Structure 1
Amino acid sequence: MMPGAPWPPGMPSHPDAAMTSPEIDPGTEEGVYPLEPNPFADQPVDLSDLRWSDGVVFGVFWLLAFVVFLQFFTRYVLNNSLGWTEEIARFLLIAVTFIGSIMAARKESHIAVELFYRYLSRRGRFVAQIAVDLITLAFYGTMAWFCTQLAGRTHQMMVSIDVPKSSVYWGVAVCFALMTLYALAAVVRHWRTGTSRLIDPERFALAGTGL
């Protein structure tokens, strides 16, 4: 085509325009697309809800792991098992269970069936939440009282070490007492604020918290 001659109808107004496509970004190679976010990628760990008391169960857990490993090593490697490891491991497992339950009570993360709440109105969810809180409070308080009664009536000593077995029951009673206090705080908080994770699940899902 002669220089200066008009471009025929239907042809691009510039020679470089013929090399581009309206569907492809000129700055991106054809067939290369930006990576989508990976839903299975590691998410940042939020430790803001941890308290210093949560470290107690962490320490007891590793002590339990050490005692169990010591029992395994002495029994199957040295063929001379330490007699006290089995009993102490049993009591440490009890300690991990109930100390961990204190943390779960504080965070309101105990296992619960939440399907029932989906079919209730918001008012119904509020009533159900308060009812569950009161039942939980009564259960923790009753178990704390029973444990104190059992500890007071237990006078035996542990088999492997010279420690009263009642100390285990007193420890469980203290754990239930602390769970009772956290349950009482939850009842007051839910009653005053009128909301919780079960009452307004969408709100707390966006906030990323269980309280």
Structure 2
Amino acid sequence: MEQTLSHAAASVEELAHSFDEADHHTADLSDYRFDDWITLGVFWMMVVLVFLQFFTRYALNDSLAWTEELATNCLIALVFIGAATCIRKDRHIQVDLLYRYLPVSVSRGLATLVDLIRLVFLAYLTYLVWKYIELVGDEQMTTLRWPKNIIYWLTLFGFSMMVIRAGQITWRNAKLGFSALEKPQAYDGSEA
């Protein structure tokens, strides 16, 4: 019994020391860019809208329909602006198994081709979003009668940031002479 109590006391003391260690860590926000902060703002706006929708629907039994539409639009903006962060950090899903079995020169050429295709593809999608805004940008939302082009412009901003970040990754990979596809073990998450 005494042994169990002393073991429990040691566990509690160890837990208390872990909190002391946590207090000595400083937050490093240097890795975040302005588009990350916009994504965070849109995320919290969506959280507030979803909570408001939930509260009015289930607590007050009288939901505000406009909160659902705005939360959906926030989710759209969140996805496309947040995708720029994934590209900047080179964190999108990639299949690198093939690169292990190819000669270095072939894998370097293939990785460069992948970078260029990604850049051109994202630039083309940005152009398509621009054309889409020209076609239907004047339509109005269903519940608020606000113009839908608000969400379209945020989507265009997200795609534009993806193009910029993809260009930075392509440039970084060209300077380093390898990409995360070729040497995932050497990838340290450094910024472009």
1:188 and 1:210 mapped to 2: Cα distance? 13
2:154 is the counterpart of 1:174: no
Q: Does the CA-based 8 Å contact 2:108-2:178 persist in structure 1?
A: yes
In the alignment, residue 112 of structure 1 is paired with which amino acid?
Q
| SS of residue in 2 equivalent to 1:53 | helix
In the alignment, residue 130 of structure 2 is paired with which amino acid?
T
Q: Aligned ranges for residues 19-168 of structure 1 at < 5 Å?
A: 48-154=30-136, 155-168=138-151
* TM-score normalised according to structure 2 size: 0.78
Which residue of the partner structure matches residue 189 of structure 2? 209
Q: Does the CA-based 8 Å contact 1:109-1:210 persist in structure 2?
A: no
Q: Does the CA-based 8 Å contact 1:117-1:125 persist in structure 2?
A: yes
| Cα RMSD after superposing both structures | 2.3
1:184 and 1:122 mapped to 2: Cα distance? 23
Q: Where does structure 2 lack aligned partners over 5 or more consecutive residues? A: 1-17
Deviation at 1:114, TM superposition (A): 2.2
Deviation at 1:194, TM superposition (A): 0.8
Residue by residue over 1:51-102, the C-alpha shift from the partner in whole angstroms, topping out at 9 and shown as x without a partner, is 2431111121111111111101111111100010110011000011011011
Which residue of the partner structure matches residue 17 of structure 1? none
Residue by residue over 1:121-177, the C-alpha shift from the partner in whole angstroms, topping out at 9 and shown as x without a partner, is 322221121111111111111111111111111121111213211222222122111
* Rg (Cα) greater in structure: 1
Give aligned-pair identity as a percent: 38
* TM-score normalised according to structure 1 size: 0.71
- Kindly indicate whether structure 1 or structure 2 has the higher relative contact order, using CA contacts under 8 Å at least 6 residues apart: 2
Once the two structures are overlaid, the 10-residue window that deviates more, 191-200 or 69-78, is 191-200
Runs (4 or more) in structure 1 with deviation over 4 Å come to: 43-48
2:180 is the counterpart of 1:197: yes
2:160 and 2:172 mapped to 1: Cα distance? 19
